[in-house]
Structure 1
Amino acid sequence: MSRIAVSTLALVALVAGVAAYFLTGSFLGSLPPLGWGWVTLPVVAVIDFLLALRVRSAISDGGVGQDRSQMHPVTIARCAALGQASAVLGAAAGGLGTGLVLYFLPRLGELAAAGDELPVSVAVLVSGAVLVGAGLFLEAACETPPSDDDLGGLAQST
């Protein structure tokens, strides 16, 4: 499994931000308020961070294998996929938050909804950025360390 490209995350954030900006302008009267749905993003980020610490510990201690006391390699691969999915979700949420902030910020004085939705939009933006970081950390924690053969003999004692 290859690592997720930063350009992919940037593209997801850009598309989500542009869509949020223009769709908010078109459908502002018919959209429900954002509310507290953004709270799930930091919760997922905490889960990703804790999983990353657990996986990193298992890899560094040699606790990866098929014994019941070890972490199964398929579980680590699933954690890597979760990290990638979390990073993409965080990029989409961060882009959404950015689009909403850019829409509501200049309209604070003229739109009643702007004052209510701007703090929530900032929370979505920050939570999305935190989730991107946690997802990338989890993905990086799932990488196997290079073997001595991969280093080209540099790790061998002379």
Structure 2
Amino acid sequence: MSPTRVRDLVALAAFAVVATWILASSFYGSVPPISAFAGASLFPVAGVLVVVGLLVRSRLRTRRIGPGPGQLHPITVARAVALAKAAALVGAGAAGVWAGLLIHLLPLRSSVRAASEDTPGALVGLVAGIVAAAAALWLEHCCRTPDDGADEPAH
């Protein structure tokens, strides 16, 4: 399995920006109000990813990986990598969606009250998506064994 490439995440986010901007331009009037809590939903996910990353990293550093008691099973590490890859895609996609919505909202803020009220929630969502993607990339990095240093770096 190859490392997640940042350029792939940027491409996904760019696609989501364009698609969301087109949809928001057409259907913004029928969208319910956006609260800050709507955008913040990825912050707990990012927290879980960081905790799992710390756990895996500490076990790898002390070489406590294996099937025995008190060790982290290798399949669990593989599952953490799969989680990290999926979460990176979700974070990048979410960041793109919120950025596309912001691109639509920012010019309308002075003339449309709903746009000015929805902007903080969209900003929180953008930040949460970026944080989740970054935490996922970090978890993926933490799952690498010390011998993996020769692999292609993420770019």
Q: Normalization by structure 2: what TM-score?
A: 0.91
Task: Measure how far apart 1:6 and its partner are.
Answer: 1.3
Write out per-residue CA displacement over residues 76-102 of structure 1, whole angstroms, 9 at most, x where no aligned residue.
011011111111111011111111111
Query: Which structure carries more helix by proportion?
Result: 2
Is it true that 1:144 corresponds to 2:155 in the alignment?
A: no
Moved more, 104-113 or 48-57: 104-113
Question: What letter matches 1:14 in structure 2?
Answer: A
Question: 5+ unaligned residues in a row in structure 1: which ranges?
Answer: 151-158
Identity among equivalent positions (%) equals 37
Larger RCO (alpha carbons 8 Å, 6+ apart): 2
For 1:83-94, what aligned pairs fall within 5 Å after superposition? 83-94=84-95
**Aligned residue for 2:102?**
101
Query: How many residue pairs are counted as aligned between the two chains?
Result: 148
Aligned residues: CA RMSD: 1.3
Task: Measure how far apart 1:38 and its partner are.
Answer: 2.2
**Aligned residue for 1:4?**
4
**Aligned residue for 2:128?**
127
For 1:19-58, what aligned pairs fall within 5 Å after superposition? 19-35=19-35, 36-58=37-59
Separation of aligned partners in 2, 1:122 and 1:41:
13
Task: Measure how far apart 1:13 and its partner are.
Answer: 0.2
**Aligned residue for 1:62?**
63
**Aligned residue for 2:153?**
none
Q: Normalization by structure 1: what TM-score?
A: 0.89
Task: Measure how far apart 1:2 and its partner are.
Answer: 1.0
Task: Measure how far apart 1:37 and its partner are.
Answer: 2.5
Separation of aligned partners in 2, 1:77 and 1:133:
19
**Aligned residue for 1:154?**
none
Question: 5+ unaligned residues in a row in structure 2: which ranges?
Answer: 151-155
Task: Measure how far apart 1:43 and its partner are.
Answer: 0.3
Question: What letter matches 1:110 in structure 2?
Answer: S
Task: Measure how far apart 1:33 and its partner are.
Answer: 2.5
Write out per-residue CA displacement over residues 94-146 of structure 1, whole angstroms, 9 at most, x where no aligned residue.
11111111111111111121111100111111111111110000000001111
Report runs of 4+ in structure 1 exceeding 6 Å deviation. Answer: none
